[in-house]
Amino acid sequence: MAALEFHVLEPLSQEQRFLSALRTGDWPASERAWRIDEVDLTPAELIELFETQLMSRHLDLHARRLQARGEAFYTIGSAGHEGNAAIARAFRHTDPAFLHYRDAAFLLQRSRSVPGQTPLWDLLLSFAASAEDPISGGRHKVLGSKALHVPPQTSTIASHLPKAMGASYGIGLWRRLGGGGEWPADSVVICSFGDASFNHSTAQGALNAAGWAAYQGIPMPLVMVCEDNGIGISTPTPKGWIEASMRARPGFHYLSCDGLDLLDTWHAAREAERIARRHRQPVFLHMRCVRLFGHAGSDAQQAYLAPARIKADEARDPLLVSAGLLQRHGVLDTDAIGALYHSVAERVAYVAEEAIRRPKLETAEQVMTSIVPPIRASRARSWQGEVDATPAPMAKLLNQALIRLMARYPHLVMAGEDIGRKGGVYGVTQRLQAQFGPHRVIDTLLDEQSILGLGIGLGQNGLVPILEIQFLAYLHNAEDQLRGEAATLSFFSNGQYTNPMVVRIAGLGYQKGFGGHFHNDNAIAVLRDIPGLLVACPSNAADAVGLLQEAVRLAEEEQRVVVVLEPIALYHARDLHEEGDQQWCFADPGPEHRLPMGEPGQWGEGRQLAILTYGNGVYLSRQAAARLEAEGVEARIVDLRWLTGIDHDEVYRRVEGCEQILVVDECRRSGSPSEELVTALVERGVAGERLHRLTAEDSFIPLGRAATVTLPSVAAIVEQGLRLASPSMKRNEAAVKTADKVSAGSNEA
């Protein structure tokens, strides 16, 4: 049998099993025999939950039928997990829910709490990738709804857990700030995921961070729902592993339920809700369930599961268990159960035929329109204090700017390792915690995934976080929080959800006395290729203020995710050409100074050589320019300032009239900004023989005296500059000699 035929027939066989049970009345029994009145659920409410389960199941069945026709594009379904409908019913619709991709029943059930919802229509538009899909606009099949407080998730590896932890922390933080935020102050955050994803380092980091905070008495109203179906695609989860891992985990309350039994799941979910809401503590709700139909429509589970295992799983279908509950409790008889089953199937089929005819995304412009979020009004206060205009290095001016920003934006929150009492590794955040308190300047645990997740969750809840990553090398274990979560939220929610944030990262090379790969890292390609992410890199103290203040404005008003890459070697640099000259100290430009995205800076007006650079490259090029000038070479230095969103037209205008152009790039030759810069200039008509690169080698940075040998140097810039300017200088010399001869001849005449 062909693979596609099997994938279509496999769920249909499960449908036949349900219809067979209707004829025979052979329903499986629940593990625990709850009575409806024991769990405070009415017969009508139980019927409602069962109908929700049926809607979820028929969506799964019909998605596969549509896929076989080429009309649907997503078949990772919820079959076997439909018990999460009872979890949805146990919480308020205003409780933010970060959902597992198998939680269609949760979304369907929650939609019953808000008038005017059309969940079947919405989900079928999503299956069909229609541009009218109300959550993602046809960009992906995601479970999400602004009206239902369900931010969309695309995660399959639990990368949404850190931001759920952050959102939970933010609810408590808003209470300490005096109120506000996207969600009510007594909300509980729900986050669901699978047993396989539980083992991912991202999930473990989020669980650890939540427990770490709760262990110290920090409010963390969070319910983590692990939907344990016992297998991750083809790899079994060891029996008892989830319970053994979580039952005694510090900071958490552990609860479990039979996810096949609506009554048991409802009972456990209500208890989880009560603990989290009343005590503001995290709960781990372990829901045992089953996976039916394989992992997705493309997954033939008979290739790795024995027929007996598949048959046993099919017999544990939660729909069979729910139908048995309804019949045994005298709520519905077999005929009524069958009628409900068929009516839901007909409704889904009818709506699907309408949904597949709706418009699809057709152009790149349509796809990309939601990468940049919509603009919001600023909440900044005016600055009433004075500005210390004493020239100072970058670390000092950044500290002054942060103090101003925290005063002007009462909803601004800082978080990172050692930024509070210590004031940061390089002193940039000194005195901030003493002035604004530990709830606004947060010393976090040592986990970059959790730091970024905290920021994402805070941003979704109406705060503007400034996060600090101690070293660029430390970002790489957590970069998916930026790539897969922060930068995608607006894209996959059609601009309805945003997580504005500023991430300050100390990085790049040239440190003195403290080196090595982990503290000198010049790999930034991962930041530059994330759609919508902005990256700024200052070269001096005044620009650092302007870029940071613009970054906060971009986060506050334009809801952007902005990284400010701060050159460690320039934090405390004071002198430029000789010791004591103080030429790399700058006056604070004040609270209104901002450097707009893409706007470069410039030093000098020389036309023989244009040096295009950023960060440490500007500092080195300024030193080199002085030596070149002594050799008769006139140069100008163009400082990019922004490493994404570069205004290439403006860069072209700045270098257009120069004879030679040298890109000095302290990042590696492969994957560095220089590649983009040269390409953009060639596209604008600059001849290749005028373009040159001086970059770092494709190497990690070593420790000790060799720490800078793979990087551009002042000597290398001077050598390259003299070589490039030599033909021009010879032409000038020849022109001078010719002019002298003409002048001499004229005098003789």
Q: What secondary structure does DSSP assign to 127-176, as a single string?
A: HTTBTT-TTTTTS-----BTTTTB-----SSSTTHHHHHHHHHHHHHHHH
Confidence of residue 385 (pLDDT cuts 50, 70, 90): confident
Identify the active-site residue in 411, 519, 593, 648: 519
Q: Please tell me the predicted confidence (pLDDT) of residue 430.
A: 96
| Strand pairing report for 635-639 and 601-603 | antiparallel
With a cut of 50, say whether residue 140 has pLDDT above it: yes
Measured between alpha carbons, how far apart are the two ends of the chain, in Å? 103
Q: Rounded distance, CA 27 to CA 319, Å?
A: 9
Contact at 8 Å (CB) between 591 and 548?
Answer: no
pLDDT digits (tens, 9 = 90+) for 478-505: 999 999 999 999 999 999 999 999 999 9
pLDDT digits (tens, 9 = 90+) for 183-207: 999 999 999 999 999 999 999 999 9
Residue 78 and residue 584: Cα distance in Å, rounded? Answer: 60
Q: What is the pLDDT of residue 547?
A: 98
Least confident of 48-57, 331-340, 397-406, 720-729: 720-729
How many degrees, rounded to 5, is the angle at CA 63 between CA 59 and CA 66?
A: 135
Per-residue pLDDT, averaged over 632-643, amounts to 97
CA dist 408 and 406 (Å) reads 6
More confident residue, 293 or 436: 436
Single out the residue of 608, 733, 717, 713 nearest to residue 660, CA to CA.
608
Q: What is the reported pLDDT for 520?
A: 83
3-class SS string, 300-350: CHHHCCCHHHHHHHHHCCHHHHHHHHHHHCCCCCHHHHHHHHHHHHHHHHH
Name beta bridge partners: 692.
Answer: 662
Q: Which amino acid, one-letter code, is at 327?
A: Q
Amino acid type, 416: G
Token pair in block for residue 151: 């931010």
pLDDT at 163: 96
| 89: Cα within 13 Å, side-chain hemisphere | 25
Mean pLDDT of 353-372: 95
pTM of the entire predicted model:
0.93
C-alpha distance from residue 115 to each of 111, 118, 125, 147, 230 (Å): 8, 9, 20, 10, 36
Per-residue pLDDT reduced to its tens digit, 552-574: 999 999 999 999 999 999 999 99
Q: Is 593 a catalytic residue?
A: no
Mean pLDDT of 699-705: 87
How many angstroms separate the CA atoms of 210 and 453, rounded? Answer: 11
pLDDT (0 to 100) of residue 374: 92
pLDDT(375) > 70: yes
Cβ 635 vs Cβ 662: under 8 Å: no
- What is the average pLDDT across 715-727? 92
The answer to whether 133 and 422 are in contact (CB under 8 A) is no
Domains of the chain: 3-358 (3.40.50.970), 394-570 (3.40.50.970), 603-732 (3.40.50.920)
The H-assigned helical ranges of 657-713 are 673-683
For residue 337, pLDDT beyond 80: yes
Which string of DSSP letters, residue by residue, matches 401-457?
A: HHHHHHHH-TTEEEEETT-SSS--TTSTTTTHHHHH-TTTEEE--S-HHHHHHHHHH
Q: What phi, psi does 639 have (nearest 5°)?
A: -95, 115
Q: Token pair 């506000």 is at which residue?
A: 180
The CB density around residue 420, as the number of other CB atoms within 10 Å, is: 22
Q: What is the pLDDT of residues 426-478, one digit of tens each?
A: 999 999 999 999 999 999 999 999 999 999 999 999 999 999 999 999 999 99
Share of the chain above pLDDT 90, in %: 78
Q: What are phi and psi of 284, to 5 degrees?
A: -105, 110
d(Cα 616, Cα 670) in Å, to the nearest integer?
Answer: 18
Integer CA distances (angstroms), 496 to 99, 306, 351, 372, 720, in order: 17, 45, 25, 11, 50
Residue 322 has pLDDT above 90, yes or no: yes
Strands 235-236 and 231-232, bridge-based pairing: antiparallel
Helix (H, G, I), strand (E, B) or coil at 192: strand
Average pLDDT over residues 602-618: 97
Distance CA 708, CA 617 (A): 13
Structure letter (DSSP) for residue 482: I
Name which of 205, 222, 209 is nearest 168 in CA terms. 222
Within its chain, how far is the Cα of 486 from the centroid? 2
Tokens, residue 220 = 């963390």
Residue 2: pLDDT over 50: no
Rounded distance between C-alpha atoms, residue 463 and residue 151, angstroms? 16
Q: Which amino acid is at 510?
A: Y
CA distances to 238, 279, 555, 688 from 251, in Å:
24, 12, 33, 62
- pLDDT (average), residues 53-68: 93
Q: How far apart are CA 107 and CA 296, in angstroms?
A: 19
Q: What is the chain's length? A: 749
* Per-residue pLDDT at 3: 41
Q: Which residue has the tokens 């139908």?
A: 323
**Whole-number pLDDT of residue 748:** 52
Contact 534, 641 (CB under 8 A): no
- The whole-angstrom separation of Cα 371 and Cα 490 is 6
Q: Which residues pair with 97 in a beta bridge?
A: 190
| CA quadruple 85, 87, 91, 96: dihedral sign | negative
Span 61-84, average pLDDT: 90
| CA diameter of the chain | 126
Would you state the pLDDT for residue 730?
57
The pLDDT value recorded for residue 745 is 57
Specify the DSSP class assigned to residue 484: I
What mean pLDDT is predicted for residues 35-49?
Answer: 93
What are 506-552's pLDDT values in tens digits? 999 988 766 677 788 888 999 999 999 999 999 999 999 999 999 99
pLDDT at 12: 62
Is residue 741 pLDDT above 90, yes or no? Answer: no
Residue 749, pLDDT score: 46
Q: What span, in angstroms and rounded, lies between the C-alpha atoms of 144 and 156? A: 15
CA distances for 509 relative to 172, 537, 617, 666, 703, angstroms: 39, 13, 10, 8, 11
Return the C-alpha torsion angle 353, 359, 362, 364, nearest 10: -120
Q: Is the pLDDT of residue 369 over 50?
A: yes
